[in-house]
Structure 1
Amino acid sequence: MELTGEIAAIREGQGDPARLIGEFRRAALLVPLENGADGGLMSAVSGGIRWIYAFTDEEALARFARKRGESGREWEYLSVLGARLVDAVVPMAERPAGVAVNVADEDGSMFFPPVAGIVPDGCAVDLADGGVAA
């Protein structure tokens, strides 16, 4: 099953969290660039966490652009594996970071927070200094 299917199953209470994480890590996600090619990855900060925006396809990204009232401009993006986002990009963030997938889709979004099992242990907010779940 692809990532959108796993998200739907989880939201319906029938999914398997391990399968969801596996599909997320294998998925090629579209990550918009802030200010075009000259900017970094588009994100927002909420509750002290930096949420990197990622989308499963161009249609999901277009819905995001419409909700922001910015559908009239060209959106530049990178295609990045979910695993690369959490294993390489999250550790470079200046604060705890996670990934918000299809954030404009009311019934199809999913947040992958900075917790053990999703991000590297050194970036997980739920682990104490000793690497043990808090």
Structure 2
Amino acid sequence: MRAAALARRMTELTKSGEGDLRALVGEFRRSEVLVPVVEGSLLTVATDDVRWLFAFTDMETLDRFAEQRPETVDEWVPVFGARLLDQVIPGIGGPVGVAVDAGGPTGLVLPPVPGVVPDAVAWEAVPGDAPGLGAAAGGAR
């Protein structure tokens, strides 16, 4: 599984507070991540106007997350990040971002903005409404 490189890059970003978000998105696209499944559907949650899909870099982080959920995470599927961003998210509809390693010490969100998700399903650019690629991940550069 290639997600180890993604996990290292996320740890570096967390420790330094600086990093190249475009390179991080590229690493996510090349990584095979674990996506939790509940009752036959990929686990997502809605917050305000955005739906978040969960993805994990390793089984340990996924297990810790699943223990904290009210529903039973009964399975997971390995999926390459590129497939999540380019095929799965457009199929869900509406703005959908990815929460990587949610609840973990190096968790990261990939917002549904141009440069992360396909433009056709990206968050509408409204000044002050949603972060752009350069501002996502807590100001990472």
For 2:119 and 2:13, locate their aligned partners in 1 and report how far apart those are by CA, in whole Å.
24
Equivalent residue of 1:116, what SS? coil
Superposed CA deviations along residues 82-124 of structure 1, whole A, max 9, x for unmatched, are: 110010011111321011111021x210101100100001111
Residues 121, 127 of structure 1: 8 Å contact kept = no
| Unpaired segments ≥5 residues, structure 1 | none
Whose relative contact order is higher, 1 or 2, with alpha carbons under 8 Å and at least 6 apart? Answer: 2
- Tell me the amino acid that sits aligned with residue 32 of structure 1: P
Q: Give the deviation of 1:52 after TM superposition.
A: 0.5
- Counting aligned pairs with the same residue, the percent is 41
Which runs of structure 2 are paired with 1:39-118 in the superposition (5 Å)?
39-68=40-69, 75-105=74-104, 107-118=105-116
Greater CA radius of gyration, 1 or 2? Answer: 1
- 1:124 maps to 122
Residues 67, 104 of structure 1: 8 Å contact kept = no
- Tell me the amino acid that sits aligned with residue 47 of structure 1: D
Aligned residue-pair number: 123
Give the TM-score normalised by the residue count of structure 1: 0.82
Residues 37, 73 of structure 2: 8 Å contact kept = no
Aligned with 2:13 (options 6, 10, 35):
10
Give the TM-score normalised by the residue count of structure 2: 0.79
| Unpaired segments ≥5 residues, structure 2 | 127-131, 133-141
Hey, which bits of structure 1, 4+ residues long, moved more than 6 A?
A: none
Question: Could you say what the CA RMSD is over the residues aligned between the two structures, in angstroms?
Answer: 2.0
